[in-house]
């Protein structure tokens, strides 16, 4: 029977390590030769052939090359035709974009209703006693009570002279919305006094309803008082052939 000595055991282990080391070096060498990115490894002085001999197993077209795309330094057009700015093209900033000035608001006067100056019927100036919140049937003309004509004949007189087909009025408490008065009778082309009374009464009803809704919603507005008396029409200081109804 063969007896092993300490020296022989050490020699055997050394031999096995040497054999396994040679196999490990050979495996790494073979694996590097088949690695798809082996041709990208940096060449060292110890392996001068690595930078000159390409790997026959790897396609050169499939290996990504660093810095393969370099954008042009000038402005070029994309596929859809829009220019792209580069570092050489100045980019506008918000501080350089100045919007054009807005036009100044101004009112354009309406054309005159007649070639001559239009005058209001004196009945609409100082001759009516009327609470404009009441129906127009309550309107009274004291100066015509004892007229030989019919009692309500004054209602059908022309509102202005010479007669016109329309008339513009503003209420002194609603100066933002005009009242354009047209003849009620389509067969008559003249605005009558009754047409003015009806148009004013309708607008006052609209204003009273709007103020009532706003007050119910909690807005700081006052309801229109129950009695708003007609004082008279006065010419507007802004436009020609426009009148303002004064109330009290």
Domain count, the chain: 1
Which pLDDT score, from 0 to 100, does residue 148 have?
A: 66
pTM: 0.55
- 40 in a structural domain: no
pLDDT bracket for residue 240 (50, 70, 90): confident
Across the range 10-28, mean pLDDT stands at 60
- Nearest Cα neighbor of 87 from 103, 70, 105, 74 is 74
- 230 in a structural domain: yes
DSSP state of 192: B
pLDDT score of 44 more than 50: no
Which pLDDT score, from 0 to 100, does residue 23 have?
A: 54
169 within 8 A of 198, measured Cβ to Cβ: no
- 35 in a structural domain: no
- 92 in a structural domain: no
Which pLDDT score, from 0 to 100, does residue 189 have?
A: 84
Pairing of strands 242-247, 167-171: parallel
- Nearest Cα neighbor of 204 from 223, 191, 217 is 223
Which pLDDT score, from 0 to 100, does residue 1 have?
A: 47
The tens digit of pLDDT for each residue in 54-97 reads: 555 555 555 555 555 565 555 445 445 555 555 555 655 555 67
The tens digit of pLDDT for each residue in 167-193 reads: 999 999 999 999 999 998 777 789 999
pLDDT score of 248 more than 80: yes
pLDDT score of 132 more than 80: yes
Range of the domain at 123: 119-247
What mean pLDDT is reported for the chain?
75
- 52 in a structural domain: no
Which pLDDT score, from 0 to 100, does residue 49 have?
A: 47
pLDDT score of 229 more than 90: yes
- 63 in a structural domain: no
58-59-61 Cα angle (round to 5): 140
Which pLDDT score, from 0 to 100, does residue 71 have?
A: 56
* Pairwise pLDDT comparison (64 vs 125), residue with the higher score: 125
Across the range 110-121, mean pLDDT stands at 73
Q: How far apart are the first and last CA of the chain?
A: 143
pLDDT score of 124 more than 70: yes
The tens digit of pLDDT for each residue in 138-148 reads: 999 998 877 76
- 212 in a structural domain: yes
* Pairwise pLDDT comparison (246 vs 76), residue with the higher score: 246
Which pLDDT score, from 0 to 100, does residue 172 have?
A: 96
DSSP state of 62: G
pLDDT score of 15 more than 80: no
Which pLDDT score, from 0 to 100, does residue 43 have?
A: 46
- 196 in a structural domain: yes
């Amino acid at each position: 029977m063969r007896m092993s000595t300490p020296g022989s055991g050490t020699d055997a282990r050394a031999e096995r390590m040497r054999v396994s080391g040679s196999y490990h070096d050979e495996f790494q060498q073979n694996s590097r030769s088949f690695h798809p990115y082996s041709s990208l490894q940096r060449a060292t002085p110890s392996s001068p052939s690595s930078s000159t001999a390409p790997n026959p197993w790897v396609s050169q077209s499939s290996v990504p090359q660093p810095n393969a795309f370099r954008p042009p330094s000038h402005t070029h057009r994309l596929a859809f035709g829009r220019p792209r700015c580069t570092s050489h093209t100045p980019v506008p900033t918000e501080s350089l974009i100045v919007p054009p000035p807005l036009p100044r608001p101004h009112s354009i006067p309406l054309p005159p209703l007649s070639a001559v100056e239009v005058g209001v019927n004196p009945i609409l100036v100082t001759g009516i006693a009327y609470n404009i919140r009441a129906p127009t049937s309550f309107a009274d003309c004291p100066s015509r009570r004892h007229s030989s004509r019919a009692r309500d004949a004054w209602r059908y007189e022309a509102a202005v002279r010479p007669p016109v087909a329309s008339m513009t009025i503003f209420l002194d408490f609603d100066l933002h919305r005009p009242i354009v008065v047209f003849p009620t009778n389509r067969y008559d082309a003249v605005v009558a006094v009754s047409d003015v009374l009806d148009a004013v009464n309708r607008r006052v009803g609209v204003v009273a309803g709007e103020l009532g809704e706003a007050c119910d919603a909690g807005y700081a507005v006052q309801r229109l008082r129950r009695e708003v008396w007609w004082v008279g029409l006065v010419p507007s200081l802004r436009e020609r052939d426009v009148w303002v109804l004064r109330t009290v």
